[in-house]
Amino acid sequence: MKKQKQPFLKILMIMMLIFFYLPIVFMIVFSFNSSKSLTHFTGFSTQWYIKMLNNASMMESLYVTIIVALIATIVSTIIGTISAIGLSKSKKIVHDLIMQINDFPIMNPEIVTAIGLMLFFITLNIEKGLLTMLLAHIAFCIPYVILSVMPKIRSLDPNLADAAMDLGCTPWQSLIKVIVPQIMPGIVSGALIAFTMSFDDFIISYFVTGRGIKNLSIMVYTMSKRVNPSINAISTLVVVLITIVLIIVNVVPLLKEKRKTQVTEMKQKKKAPKIIAGALAICVFIGVVFLGKSVSSTKKYDGQTLHIYNWGEYTGENLISDFEKKTGCKVVMDLFDSNEQMYIKIANGESYDILVPSDYMIERLLQEDMLQPLDENQLDCLDEISDSVKGLPYDPNNEYSIPYFWGTVGIVYDKTKVDEKDLEKEGFNIFLNQKYKGDIYLYDSERDSFAMALKGLGYSMNTDDEKELLEANNWLLQCVQTMQPEIVTDEIIDNMAQGRKALGLIYSGDAAYIMSENEDIGFYMPKTGTNIWSDALVIPKNATNVELAHEFINYVSSYEGAYDNSSYVGYTSPNKEVMIDLSKTDYQGISAYTPIRQNDQDEVFKYNAKTRKILSNYWSKIKIAASNARG
C-alpha cells in the first residue's frame, strides 16, 4: 500500500514545485523580452536590465530595502533575544502576559498594524520617511525573533547560568559565552525570519513612509499599475541575490562539519564579530552613498528639494533626472494610485510642493481652499499649451493649474472580433450586446463606468438626478449579470494588446499604446459623448518651495520635458508642438493619442460630494453582483 502511495506523493510534490516555481521562471524569462509585453515573448534583450540600472528611483528603492532590512534585522534580533532571555527568568503571570502581547502583532491583520503605526507617528508629529519605516520594521520584527528564540531557551537547563558563574564567569560572560551559543540556532532562525519579513513588507511600509522614501515592494506596486518590464528585471535580480544567500547558508554549515578540530572552531567563532562588523560597515557605506549629496553643483537651486505627489508610472524616463541636472535640486516623488488616496494625505496636512490630481479632484481642492494661485510672473509655459486643454471648467482661467496629461475614455476593440457597425449603431450600449458576452472588459472605476452607463442612456455624466443615477446603476447591473465582463484596471493594457477579449472600456493614452503594439486594435469614441479628462499640476497651500515648483511646471510643459513624458507614458501631451510631432512620428495613425473632435456631448467631470457617495455605494454592489455572476 505504501509503495502505491509513493508515486502519487512524488507526482503531487512535483506539481506543487511547478506551481510555486513556474511563475518565477516565467518572470525571469520575460525579464529578457525585447518588447514591453509581459505575456508575449518577442525576442531576447537585456534592455530592461540596462533601464533598471539607469533608473535612479528603482535603484534607490533597492538600497532602502537592503538598508532597512539589515538594520531592522540586527536591532530586532538583539532586542528580541534579550527580551526572550529576560522573559525566561520572569514570573509565570508576567511571562504569559508578555507572550500574549507578543503574539498579538503576529495574529493581527497587517493593515490594522499599518494604520495604527501611521496614526501613532501622526499623533507624535513625527515626519514620515526613512526613520519611521525603520522603526516600524523593527517593531513588527521583534515578536518573530522572540517567538523563534523562546523554544531554545526553554530547552536549556535553568541552572546553566548559575553553574557558569560558580566557575568564575561574570553575568555578562555567562550570557555571551554560555547562554547565547546554546540558543544560537534560535537566534539565527529569528534573524532570518526578521530579514525576510522586513525585505518583503509592503502594507506597513506603504502607510508609514513618506518624503519619497520607498522600498522595493512599494516601487514594484506602483510600477505594476502600468506596463513596465523593468519589474521583471529587478525581481530577477532579487531572486538571484536570494539564491546566492541560500547557497551560502546551506554550504557553510557543510564546510563547518568537515572542520572538527577545536582550533578551527575557535577561528570560526572569532570570525563572527568580524562578519557582524563587516555587515554594519556595509550598511553604513550604502547609507552614506544613498544619502550623500554632491557638493560640486553650482546651479541656482543647488541643495534645494522639490516634493512631488504624482501617479505611479506617470513621468518620462529621464524627466526627473534631467530636471535635477538642469537645476541642481533634488526631486523627491511620492506616488499614489487614486485621487482619493492623494486627497486623504493632503487633508491630513502632509506637505508637497506639487500635486498632479485629476479635474474633478482639482475642483474639490479649490472648493476646500487647499490650493494656491500660480504666479504668472514665474510661468513662461502658457503659450506652449494647446488651446484644447486651456480654460477647462474646473479652472477657467488657469489660475491654479497647468495641464499635465489629458485624453478621453472610449472603447478599445479588436477589429477581427468586433463589427464596427455595432459600434456606430450602439456606442457604449455595445457592452449589452449578447454577441460579445464573456468577451468584454469593464474598467474598475465607479466614475468612468457610470459615465459610460449615463452616456449610453443619453444622460449627462455629471447628472445629480437620482432617478437617472438609478437607471445607470440598473444598466451596469444588467451588464455584469448578463454579459459576464471581467472588471480590471491596468491589466487591460497588455491583455488587449494580445487580443484576449473583443472590447473594453479604456483611457485613450492606454489605447494608444495598445494600438502601437497590435495593428488589429482600434479605438472608438461614441457619438453620444464621453469624458474629456485632464490631470494637471497644482501647488498646494502648504507648499514649502513655491519658486522651484514653478520651475518644474515650466520644465514639464516645455517641449523637452513634455516630449519625454508623452513618448514614454503614452498619454496626450498638452504641449501643442509635442502633440503634433508625436502624432506624425511615434504615434502616427493612432487616433487615441490626439482625441480632438468637435462634439458638444463630450464633458469634463465636475465634483459633487452627494453624487460621489451614491455612485460609490452603487459600485460596491455592482462588483459583488459581477463576482456572483462569474462565480
Taking only the tens place, the pLDDT of each residue in 145-160 is 998 988 888 887 777 7
522 pLDDT above the threshold of 80: yes
Cell of 182: 546554546
Query: How far apart, in whole angstroms, are the C-alpha atoms of residue 146 and residue 103?
Result: 10
Q: How far apart are CA 423 and CA 421, in angstroms?
A: 5
Look at residue 585 and tell me whether its pLDDT is greater than 50: yes
Extract the C-alpha cell encoding 416. Answer: 477581427
Higher local confidence (pLDDT), 428 or 299: 428
Q: Are residues 93 and 230 in the same domain?
A: yes
Q: Is 125 helix (H, G, I), strand (E, B) or coil?
A: coil
pLDDT of residue 597: 66
Q: What is the mean predicted confidence (pLDDT) over 252-274?
A: 58
pLDDT at 296: 46
Cell numbers for 275 = 562578519
- Which residues, including other chains, have CB under 8 Å from residue 104's CB and lie 6 or more apart? none
| CATH number of domain containing 313 | 3.40.190.10
Q: Would 236 be classed as within a structural domain?
A: yes
Average pLDDT over residues 399-408: 94
Sign of CA dihedral 472, 473, 474, 478: positive
**pTM metric for this prediction:** 0.71
Longest Cα separation, the chain: 95
496 & 554 share domain: no
Domain of 425 in residue numbering reads as 406-534+590-630
Q: How far apart are CA 530 and CA 461, in angstroms?
A: 8
**Is the per-residue pLDDT at 619 higher than 90?**
yes
pLDDT at 538: 97
Report the pLDDT value the prediction gives residue 298, as an integer from 0 to 100. Answer: 60
pLDDT above 90: residue 169: no
**Same domain? 309 vs 249:** no
CB 208 within 8 A of CB 117: yes
What is the pLDDT at residue 122? 81
The pLDDT of residue 294 is 39
Give yes or no for residue 365 having a pLDDT over 80: yes
Q: Is residue 209 in some structural domain? A: yes
Q: What gap in Å lies between CA 16 and CA 612, rounded to an integer? A: 45
Mean pLDDT, the chain, as a whole number? 84
Residue 521 · residue 496 · CB < 8 Å: yes
503 and 437, same structural domain?
A: yes
Beta bridge partners of 306: 331
Q: What is the pLDDT of residue 628?
A: 84
Q: Does 300 reside within a domain?
A: no
Q: Are 477 and 526 in contact (CB under 8 A)?
A: no
Give the confidence band of 404 by pLDDT, cuts at 50, 70, 90: very high
Question: Please, are residues 554 and 380 in contact by the beta-carbon 8 Å criterion?
Answer: yes
For residue 27, count CB atoms less than 10 angstroms from its CB and return exposed for 0-12, middle for 13-18, buried for 19 or more.
middle
Instruction: Compute the distance between CA of residue 511 and CA of residue 589 in angstroms, rounded to an integer.
Output: 12
Q: What is the pLDDT of residue 283?
A: 52
Total count of domains within the chain: 4
Q: Which residue has the higher pLDDT, 586 or 68?
A: 68
Q: Is 291 domain-assigned? A: no
DSSP code, position 179: I
In a domain, residue 188? The reply is yes
Q: What pLDDT digit, counting tens, does each position of 4-63 carry?
A: 556 777 787 888 888 878 888 888 888 888 877 666 777 888 888 887 887 777 788 888
> Which amino acid type is present at position 224?
S
CA-CA distance, 517 to 414, in Å (whole number)? 12
* CA distance linking residue 452 with residue 444, whole number of Å: 12
Model confidence at 287: pLDDT above 80: no
Q: Do 41 and 74 lie in a common domain?
A: no
In this structure, the answer to whether residues 540 and 529 fall within a common structural domain is no
- Identify the pLDDT of residue 588: 78
Distance CA 44, CA 229 (A): 13
* pLDDT grade for 295, boundaries at 50, 70 and 90: very low
* 32 and 60 both lie in a single domain: no
What single DSSP character describes residue 371?
Answer: B
Residue 536 has pLDDT above 70, yes or no: yes
Q: Indicate whether 496 pLDDT > 80.
A: yes
Rounded Cα distance, 625 and 347, in Å = 33
Highest mean pLDDT among 95-99, 235-239, 485-489: 485-489
**For 314-325, how does the pLDDT look when each residue is reduced to its tens digit (9 = 90+)?**
888 889 989 999
Domain co-membership, 164 together with 188: yes
pLDDT in tens, 538-561: 999 999 999 999 999 999 999 999
Q: Looking at the structure, do residues 425 and 480 belong to the same domain, yes or no?
A: yes
Q: At a CB cut-off of 8 Å and minimum separation 6, what does 341 contact?
A: none
Residues 120 and 239 in one domain: yes
Predicted pLDDT of residue 268: 47
Domain identity same for 95 and 207? yes
Sign of CA dihedral 359, 364, 370, 373: positive
According to DSSP, residue 382 is labeled G
Provide mean pLDDT across the span 64-85.
Answer: 91
463 vs 123, residue with greater confidence: 463
Domain-embedded: residue 265:
no
- Mean pLDDT highest for which of 286-295, 358-367, 588-597? 358-367
Nearest to 466 by CA among 608, 602, 607: 608
* CATH number for position 125: 1.10.3720.10
Within 10 Å of residue 503's Cβ, how many Cβ atoms? 25
Measure the CA–CA gap between 544 and 583, rounded to whole angstroms: 38
Residue 436 shares a structural domain with residue 397: no
d(CA 615, CA 446): 7
For residues 400-424, average pLDDT:
94
281 is a domain residue? no
What's the average model confidence in pLDDT over 333-349? 85
User: Does residue 450 register a pLDDT over 60?
Assistant: yes
Tell me the pLDDT tens digit for each residue of 386-395. Answer: 988 888 888 9
Percent of the chain topping pLDDT 90: 37
Q: What's the pLDDT at 615?
A: 92
Q: Are strands 440-443 and 402-414 parallel, antiparallel or unpaired?
A: unpaired
Q: What percent of the chain has pLDDT over 70?
A: 89
Q: Say if 564 falls within a structural domain.
A: yes
Residue 448 — very low, low, confident or very high, per pLDDT cuts 50/70/90?
very high
- The neighbour count for residue 59, using CB atoms within 10 Å, is 15
